[in-house]
Amino acid sequence: MTKVLLTREINQTYREKIKDLGYQVQLMEEGGPLEDIDLALGGLALRKLDFSQLKKLQAVFLTSMGVDYLPLDYFSKKGIILSNNQGVYAETIGEFIVFNLLQIQKANRFFIQKQEAHLWEKPKTGLGALKGKTVLFFGTGSLAQAGARRLEPFGVQLVGYRKSPKPQAPFQEIVTDQNLDQALKRADFLVLTLPKTKETYHLINRDLLAKTKPGVKIINVARGDIIQEEALVEALESGHVAGACLDVFEKEPLDPASPLWDMDQVYITPHHSYSSEGDREIEYKTIMENLKRFKKNQPLIHVVDTDKGY
């Protein structure tokens, strides 16, 4: 019988469903022999695993989209198949992007604070709008496309940044490294949806922020270390960056001493942009499909190129 190693991220309901498919299940956190494991299933908890002990490992199925926490070089060398949850959170995160743009523009924190204080008070300046603004997406994959589609009715200019200049709906314009600087000068918002790679590490740094339009606002639903956090704090304190909605951080949980917590123009969520009423079903959809395919020796879906990392 094929033996599957699960992390606690796979809940009890789905553990039973996996058993019903004819798999033998072992929970990683409870210990046990690893030499005869055929498949490993889970998310971030798998980063604690010494994969070299899994001598028979054939494939790893993830609940996450990100794969940067795994030993991709080792997987490539050993021919271990990796499948992530590519695209399954796109619709939910697309909504979250729009929500964040609106809460910045509509001074959400101001009104919540006044409500808590039982004060009938209006802001000293008018509320912001989205119509006519330029939104620059870093990355044009499924997350960015879902967010951009939802922004189309607001009358914004949708710009996507990626390696290739090939057109990509629903973006009205695609920019690359060759013309990114010009796009930064006119973008009212930067929305980060890139995967974590060597190339994207600290992509949003002091040099790049200095090239942005004064008053730019930033949304990050990707990976925390795409942003050089110290540089962002400095830009927020100076006012060059007028606001930020951050769902991810360089170090998670975010340090209680971080100045980001106390900035009124910053909205913080705990790496939760993927969540929805049906997030459990969404989370396991790809895994369950791949378990059925693996049993029938059929091609797996959402297989990651471990040499590239995405």
CA dist., res. 165 & res. 192, Å (int): 18
Alpha helices in the chain (DSSP H): 12-20, 72-78, 90-105, 108-116, 142-151, 180-186, 206-210, 229-238, 279-295
Which of 8, 186, 271, 293 is labelled catalytic?
271
Mean per-residue pLDDT over the chain, rounded: 96
Phi, psi of 175 (to 5 degrees): -120, 155
9, 150, 162, 223: which one is catalytic?
223
Indicate the helix (H) or strand (E) that contains 190: strand 189-192
Higher-confidence residue of 284 and 39: namely 39
Give just the sign of the alpha carbon dihedral 126, 130, 232, 275: positive
pLDDT mean over 72-86? 96
DSSP string computed for 128-140: P--TT-EEEEE--
Task: Give residue 277's pLDDT band: very low, low, confident or very high (50, 70, 90).
Answer: confident
User: Which of 152, 305, 147 lies closest to 222, judged by CA?
Assistant: 147
Tens digits of residue pLDDT in 226-266: 999 999 999 999 999 999 999 999 999 999 999 999 999 99
Burial class (CB in 10 A: 0-12, 13-18, 19+), 49: buried
Q: Are 141 and 149 in contact (CB under 8 A)?
A: no
The confidence score (pLDDT) of residue 9 equals: 92
The radius of gyration computed from the CA coordinates of the chain, to the nearest angstrom, equals 21
Residue 66 pLDDT greater than 70, yes or no: yes
Two structure tokens written together for 180: 């990114």
* Catalytic residue list contains 272: no
Query: Looking at the DSSP assignment, which residues form a beta bridge with residue 135?
Result: 158, 189
CA atoms of 246 and 14, how far apart (whole Å): 31
> According to the model, what pLDDT value does residue 16 have?
97
pLDDT band at 281, cuts 50/70/90?
confident
223 catalytic, yes or no?
yes
- Alpha carbon distance 184, 207 (integer Å): 12
| Residue 110 main-chain phi, psi, to 5 deg | -55, -50
Phi, psi of 77 (to 5 degrees): -65, -40
Q: Is the pLDDT of residue 310 over 60?
A: no
Query: Does the active-site annotation cover 252?
Result: yes
**What value does the mean pLDDT take over residues 26-30?**
97
Looking at the chain, how many residues does it have? 310
Contact 188, 135 (CB under 8 A): yes
Considering the candidates 252, 272, 280, 281, report the single residue annotated as catalytic.
Answer: 252
